[in-house]
Amino acid sequence: MEIDFSKLGHNLEDKLTSKMLPHIWCSGCSLGTNLQSLVRGAVMTGMDMDKEMVMISGIGCTGRASGYVEFDGFHTTHGRAIPFASGVKTGNPNLEVIVFSGDGDLFSIGGNHFIHAARRKLDMTIICTNNSVYGLTGGQASPTTFEYSTTTTTIDHNLRPFNLVDLALGAGADFVARYTSAHFKILPRIIKQAIETDGVAFIDLISGCPAIYGKRNGYPTADYMVKNFLEASVEIEVKEDGSHLLSENTRVEFDRTKGYTKIPIGVFRRQHR
Ligand code: SF4
């Protein structure tokens, strides 16, 4: 399918490709907005994306994103985006490597790779589009599904989810941030900072999956979900030494009748190795 990007007016014509369109994402999904934020952030770095940047994703709805960009992208195997990224970075350290994948892919089968990547501090950016569910495969619980939210594998009760910010801070990532897909105005700037970090930069990007997660958890529409993200977001003031952050302060809270009740957002750590 050929798309005339010049009619869309987003000025990203040469950064996106129509070769893989139509895309697979559902109407109202946050992934389009997230991809746009990523590409805008990458453009803001001023790098020659064709020669200096590689995007790598695993399996899942987010995994398809690497096929929609015009610069080099790898759609890899389930949970293995970070090992592929480590190989690319080791093979050519001059490349800027961006891992863009979902919570199921990066933190279940790929979880061990994440903690060791953060510990080893290979220079890469890891963005997790965190929609708290396995969307592509039918709505099973993921490592970030909330205790009392409903999925096809947790009808009534789930275990406590991972706090990805806590995990990244504890594992030693150099740049750690959380925003939601509703923060598309600030996100390109945050993504630029992440890409420019020497070391492992991680962004927990809370995202909406209205078709699978939203439908099962009381969200009537996709825009209701986006409004909930904005209302629940609380900017966290980060103290100089960051000592208060390995705690409940960064935990996302969810209520089965109200949706998200608290999403701590901000840049929680900023250091260069
Ligand atoms: S299943 Fe969910 S995450 Fe996947 S494309 Fe649809 S709305 Fe987006």
How far is the C-alpha of 169 from the C-alpha of 255, rounded, in Å? 25
Q: Which amino acid is at 127?
A: I
Ligand 1 atom at minimum distance from 207 CA: 3
Look up the domain containing 164 and give its range: 5-270
Mind listing the pLDDT tens digit of every residue in the chain (273 residues)? 566 656 666 678 788 887 877 888 999 999 999 999 999 999 999 999 999 999 999 999 998 988 898 889 999 999 999 999 999 999 999 999 999 999 999 999 999 999 999 999 899 999 999 999 999 988 999 999 998 888 999 988 888 899 999 999 999 999 999 999 999 999 999 999 999 999 999 999 999 999 999 998 989 899 999 999 999 999 988 776 666 666 678 999 999 889 999 999 999 999 876
Looking from the CA of residue 25, the nearest atom of ligand 1 is 5
**Contact, 224 vs 241, CB < 8 A?**
no
Q: Is the CB of 209 under 6 A from ligand 1?
A: yes
Looking up tokens 């630029």, which residue turns up? 192
Q: What is the residue with the minimal CA distance to atom 1 of ligand 1?
A: 135
- pTM for the full model? 0.94
CB atoms within 10 A of CB 75: 18
Q: Would you state the structure tokens that stand for residue 78, as one six-digit string?
A: 């389930």
Q: Give me the helix-helix angle, 187-196 and 31-44, nearest 10°.
A: 50
Cis amide bond preceding 220, omega within 30 = no
Q: Using the 8-state DSSP alphabet, how is residue 211 labeled?
A: I
Ligand 1 atom showing the smallest separation from residue 24 Cα: 5
Please count the structural domains in the chain: 1
CATH of the domain at 197: 3.40.50.970
